[in-house]
Chains A and B, each alone.
Chain A
């Protein structure tokens, strides 16, 4: 995945994180992980996971934590 697209995913993840960080119920990180599972296709999820494996530069703490909780989806084409 190119730098451009990873930057975009990071930006999108941080936007999502900002929303869920503000929520009280239920816990923000879990909700964000759930959001990514529901709305990001496996390829995007794997790309952001790979980015986290490489240090996850640019990701806010909540987004980082939420992404980490994403297990590689079964049957993804990586």
Chain B
């Protein structure tokens, strides 16, 4: 194992298809037009000295170290800013160039500390490397004069010196080591798009300045780490490197946070992670990262992790630490007993969108082969199940149509019910890059998300619709497209079912769907809706990105189909720059759905009633399979309360915190005979569990994740599992106690079985993934290298299907008792229920959930900034602190659900999507009032949690 060192070409790749041939140091080089001489040289292995250049950002030409000579031209131009030209002859090393470079370096070093041996960047410092490369042997100027290096000069206070900024928990900023190359500032602008950094002062006074010369934590910095990565010295450096030292080997793996699926180099010392550095060749992230993937991996070592299996007879008892054998034996016995007593359908499983494909596959296999029923579901039920249903209806597959890079060709970007800069930050940065290049932007969201207006980004249209009116909105947009003759008839005629289109067109053309008629329903000016529709239909390549703000509604599936209608009507499918793109919440939501986690589908989205598909599995698994669909998560809860569903094996999902109507869920869980929780921590659901099986982190196991663009990527084990087993091994232990006789030696064998039985994965194997880096399914004979863009010639289902999208207002209506609409979302620094991120320093950014409320609504209720407020709905009530802001419209309040003490889901209701039972998280009618502190429920819940987390001492356990 070695440390992976990516080649830095100095300047970005040129997109030109035209080639230019030149000579560098006598060697002939052919590169795309527009390539810098620096990059062309690196292409043939000649590394021209450089400091201010790196290939993630545009050339800047400030350090003057990369000077070269071009035959027949005057002077010594910088090779980073000088493009190649046909036939020129370049020299990268001459006595004149060597002297210039040495002079430049001498000046740099004259204002830089010489503490290399004790410096954290020792061995990974470009300044050090360049001093060596240019043969610097002497610094003639000394440190007696003005400098930024010493706190005191000749006993006097040195006002040019600045202390280290240690405010950010993950990296430090030491101004005394800064060479003002601007790489951090440019990375913040060009890569991340936050513009938090600048250079203050001029000449010798130039300093890197977060915000207005603030500390990093006080500035707009979002801690993505791009500046740290770009820094050539120890000025910006990970605190973990300071603490541990330089890594000695690294492995490429995939982040376990959101659905973007960034790949990282886990840089290691032995089994200790020194740092996570985004991998430049990662197709989803191209070397960029966010605060979560880059820094928030400390939960893997957190003291709260449970490392030994535990059981208890009933949930009022303390936990008893037992052996693995006893734990899985206890679990298997109780599952069997429940089936014997209540029938084979009395037990089920929940697969995890945080675990690997291989692990989800095994958990659903456990249900189908072991329990002989289809009671398997996954957390996608509560997020993107309407995407699965809606896109399968419209196009024939349940997946996004594009790769992320497609956004580079988008002319109009329509973001609906998604907040990419918070929830999918690395793709958010990618999108912002395209927006800064001039793409137009339409945002449909009740809340003024950051994309609506942030540095150098401004939405052309923000349609702040009332929560729950998505279907009315997409139909109104369709009305404008149809009645103003903006339909792409060529596309519709050749690619879609013409009869269905005509029915749909007649439906949307009805006056009751005009923006004017719907103005009061939507709360958005009709002119804006018309403008947005015209822009999307006529502005060039139109790409739609949507998230849970679309799906988590009683009409979630209808909205998804409405979005598909818009894309088909305008011909925005089947090529780069367009498409319908669901932004998936968790790292492996796509994968867990692909793996047959749903109760009606076998792996590869084949209905359980499909005889041919079922027979293939029956033959392989040696059992007959149930042809009837099983229970979905909400149906499991209902059946549990009714008394017919008695056992549940939950891998890596905290249903009690993440599912709606907490009281309903806890009642269901309390009614079961056997709840098995497999997780890293004693999560909220574990309060109701009888068996706790410790889980492994993504750093401790092998497997694959599939991201929002259908990209299958490897997860690589970099350390031994602290709990002893990878999660798939734990499932195998349980399966074998149930008599299934599984014999998987490694995750790769599981993938081989998946490939054998799932046509869209036929060509996938760990070996193929190692060769290709990543593959976007389908991977089979028809597309052996995967499919970045789908539906190019025709739709997966043949003709695209237009679906009539009648708007049905949700039953969740405001009234005198509950006059406000609560909608929920996420924040950048926290992830989902927070089980991981709350156990890292990320909590410094977001220590608690707050309620965003409009100043008018706050004033009406006497609520002041920071007050404790009670939020009550017909389902329950909770308290949290108020944040007064006009980001939400009057009548709308907003909160996140990252903290168990807030229990936002005590308030959410059991309303759900008509097609999939995906909960309606995004609309709850509430009342807000001032209060003194937590509600009785919160107090009781805290007590219950403390009670149920008791672990008997090991001595007791041994008795």
B487-517 contact mask (Cβ, 8 Å, vs A): 1 or 0? 0000000000001100100010000000000
What per-residue 1/0 map shows which CB atoms of B327-351 lie under 8 Å from chain A? 0000000000000000111000000
A42 touching B628, Cβ below 8 Å:
yes
Min CB distance A14 to B, Å, is 9
Collect the chain B residues with CB atoms within 8 Å of residue A37's CB. 609
Q: Digitize B797-809: 1 where CB-to-A-CB distance is under 8 Å, 0 elsewhere.
A: 0000001111010
Least CB separation from A73: chain B residue: B628
Q: Are A16 and B915 in contact (CB under 8 A)?
A: yes
> Are B914 and A18 touching (Cβ within 8 A)?
yes
Q: How far is the CB of A5 from chain B (nearest CB, A)?
A: 5
Q: Given the interface contacts A18-B806, A19-B915, A22-B806, does A39 sit within 8 Å of B629 by beta carbon?
A: yes
List B contacts of A76 (CB < 8 A).
628
Closest A residue to B630 using CB positions: A41
Contacts A2-B642, A19-B808, A41-B628 known; 16 new A-B pairs at CB < 8 A = A5-B638, A8-B638, A12-B912, A12-B917, A16-B914, A19-B806, A22-B806, A25-B503, A41-B629, A41-B635, A42-B628, A43-B631, A43-B639, A43-B644, A75-B626, A75-B628
What chain A residues lie within 8 Å of B641 (beta carbons)?
2, 4-5
- Measured CB to CB, the closest approach of chain A to B925, in angstroms, equals 17
**A75 to B626 Cα, complex, angstroms:** 9
**Is B607 part of the contact surface with A, judged by Cβ < 8 Å?**
yes
Please name all residues of chain A whose beta carbon is closer than 8 Å to the beta carbon of B609 when the two chains form the complex: 37-38
A35 contacts chain B at the CB level, 8 A cutoff: yes
B345 to A77, Cβ gap below 8 A? yes
- B804–A38 CB distance below 8 A: no
> B residues engaging A (CB < 8 A)?
343-345, 374-375, 499-500, 503, 507, 554, 557-558, 599-600, 607, 609, 626, 628-632, 635, 638-639, 641-642, 644, 803-806, 808, 811, 910, 912, 914-917
What are 14 A-B contacts defined by CB distance under 8 Å?
Answer: A1-B642, A8-B638, A16-B915, A19-B808, A25-B499, A38-B600, A38-B609, A39-B600, A39-B916, A40-B629, A41-B375, A42-B628, A77-B344, A77-B345
Q: Flag if A77 contacts B343 (CB, 8 Å).
A: yes
Distance in Å: Cβ of A10 to nearest Cβ of chain B: 13
User: Residues of A contacting B642 with CB < 8 Å?
Assistant: 1-2, 5
- How many angstroms from the CA of A76 to the CA of B638 in the assembled complex? 18
Q: Which parts of A38-67 form the interface with B (CB within 8 Å)?
A: 38-44
> Taking the nearest CB of chain A, how far is it from the CB of B206, in angstroms?
62
B499 and chain A: residue at smallest CB distance:
A25
Are B804 and A41 in contact, with the CB atoms below 8 A?
no
Q: Given A1-B642, A38-B629, does the pair A22, B804 have CB atoms closer than 8 Å? A: yes
B500 touches A25 (CB 8 A): yes
Q: In the A-B complex, list the 10 residue pairs whose CB atoms are closest, starting with the nearest.
A: A15-B914, A22-B806, A24-B503, A22-B804, A42-B628, A77-B343, A41-B631, A16-B914, A5-B638, A5-B642
Which of the four size classes fits the interface of chain A? 20 to 34
Q: Which residues of B contact A75 (CB under 8 A)?
A: 626, 628
Interchain CB contact under 8 A, B345 and A43: yes
CA distance A42 to B345 in the complex (A): 10
Cβ–Cβ < 8 Å partners of B554 in chain A = 15
- Give the complex CA separation of A16 and B90 in angstroms: 71
A35 touches B915 (CB 8 A): yes
User: For residue A18, which residue of chain B has the nearest CB?
Assistant: B808
Q: Which residues of B contact A25 (CB under 8 A)?
A: 499-500, 503
CA distance A44 to B642 in the complex (A): 12
Distance to closest chain B CB from A49 (angstroms): 14
Looking at chain A's contact residues, the main secondary structure is: helix
Look across to chain A and name the residue whose beta carbon is closest to the beta carbon of B913.
Answer: A15
* Candidates B344, B345, B910, B915; contact of A39 at CB < 8 Å: B915
Min CB gap B606→A, angstroms? 12
> Hey, which chain B residues are within 8 Å of A5, CB to CB?
638, 641-642
Scoring A residues 4 to 34 as 1 if CB is less than 8 Å from chain B, else 0, what string do you get? 1100100110011011011111000000000
Give Cα A37–Cα B635 distance, bound, in whole angstroms.
15
With both beta carbons as reference points, the residue of chain A lying nearest to B557 in the complex is identified as A19
**Most A C-beta atoms less than 10 A away, residue of B558, B639, B641:** B639
A35 to B533, CA, bound (A): 32
Q: Which residues of B contact A39 (CB under 8 A)?
A: 600, 629, 632, 915-916
Closest chain-B Cβ to A23's Cβ sits at a distance in Å of: 5
On whether the beta carbons of B558 and A19 are closer than 8 Å, the reply is yes
Q: Closest CB-CB distance, B649 to chain A, in whole Å?
A: 18
User: A15 contacts which chain B residues (CB < 8 A)?
Assistant: 554, 808, 914
Could you tell me if A23 and B630 are in contact, using CB atoms closer than 8 angstroms? no
Cα distance A73–B609 in the bound complex, in angstroms: 12
Chain A residues, CB < 8 A from B599: 41
Residue in A38, A40, A42 whose CB lies within 8 Å of B607: A38
Cα–Cα distance between A19 and B554 once the two chains are bound (Å)? 11
State the Cβ distance, A63 to closest chain B Cβ, in Å: 11
User: How far is B496's CA from A25's CA once the two chains are assembled, in angstroms?
Assistant: 14
Contact A19 B635 (CB under 8 A): no
Name the A residues within 8 Å of B600 (CB-CB). Answer: 38-39
**Identity of the chain A residue whose Cβ is nearest the Cβ of B631 in the assembled complex:** A41
Cα A67 to Cα B707 with chains together (Å):
38
Q: How far is the CA of A78 from the CA of B363 in the complex (A)?
A: 26
Question: How far, in whole Å, are A75 and B806 apart by their CA atoms in the complex?
Answer: 36
In the docked arrangement, what's the CA distance between A16 and B912, Å?
11
Q: Note all chain B residues with C-beta closer than 8 A to A2.
A: 641-642
List the A side residues contacting B806 at CB < 8 Å.
18-19, 21-22
A2-B642, A35-B915, A39-B600 known; A23 vs B343 contact (CB < 8 Å): no
| Complex interface: chain B residues within 8 A of A22 (CB) | 507, 804-806
Return chain B residues, CB-CB under 8 Å to A73: 628
Q: Is the CB of A23 within 8 A of B803?
A: yes
| Cα A54 to Cα B201 with chains together (Å) | 82
- Knowing A1-B642, A5-B638, A43-B345, say if A23 contacts B629 (CB, 8 Å): no
| B914: A residues at CB distance < 8 A | 12, 15-16, 18-19
Q: How far is the CB of B894 from chain A (nearest CB, A)?
A: 26
CA distance A33 to B629 in the complex (A): 14
Chain A residues positioned under 8 Å from B628 (CB to CB): 41-42, 73, 75-76
- Give A39 to B375 CA distance when docked, in angstroms: 12
A44 to B644, CA, bound (A): 11
Partner of B804, one of A8, A24, A43, A44: A24
**Bound form: Cα–Cα A4–B557 in Å:** 25
How far, in angstroms, from A35 to B500 measured CA to CA in the complex? 19
Closest to B914 in A: A15
Shortest distance from the beta carbon of A66 to any chain B beta carbon, whole Å: 13
**Which residue of B is nearest A78, CB measured?**
B343
B609 → chain A closest CB, angstroms: 7
A61 to chain B, nearest CB (A): 16
Q: Shortest Cβ distance from A32 into chain B, in angstroms?
A: 10
CB distance from B503 to the nearest CB of A (A): 4
Measured CB to CB, the closest approach of chain A to B249, in angstroms, equals: 49
Tell me the minimal C-beta distance from B804 to chain A in angstroms.
5
- Most chain A beta-carbon neighbours within 10 Å: one of B631, B642, B914: B914
Min distance, Cβ A30 to any Cβ of chain B, angstroms: 15
B804–A23 contact, CB under 8 A?
Answer: yes
Cβ–Cβ < 8 Å partners of A4 in chain B: 641
Docked pose: A12 CA to B67 CA in angstroms: 71
Chain B residues with CB under 8 Å of A18's CB are 806, 808, 914
CB-based nearest B residue for A14: B914
Closest residue of B by beta carbon distance from A76: B628
- Docked Cα-Cα span, A37 to B608, in Å, equals 11
A73 to B626 CA separation, bound complex (whole angstroms): 12
Smallest CB separation, A15 vs chain B (Å): 4
* Bound Cα distance from A42 to B599, whole angstroms: 12
Min CB distance B942 to A, Å, is 28
CA A35 – CA B557 in complex, angstroms? 13
- In the bound complex, how far is the Cα of B628 from the Cα of A16, in angstroms? 19
**A11 to B503 alpha-carbon distance, docked (Å):** 28
Cβ contacts under 8 Å, B910 to chain A? 8
Set of chain A residues within 8 Å of B635, measured between Cβ atoms: 41, 44
Residues of A close to B811: CB separation below 8 A: 11
C-alpha gap A77/B347 in the complex (Å): 14
Q: Which residues of A contact B500 (CB under 8 A)?
A: 24-25
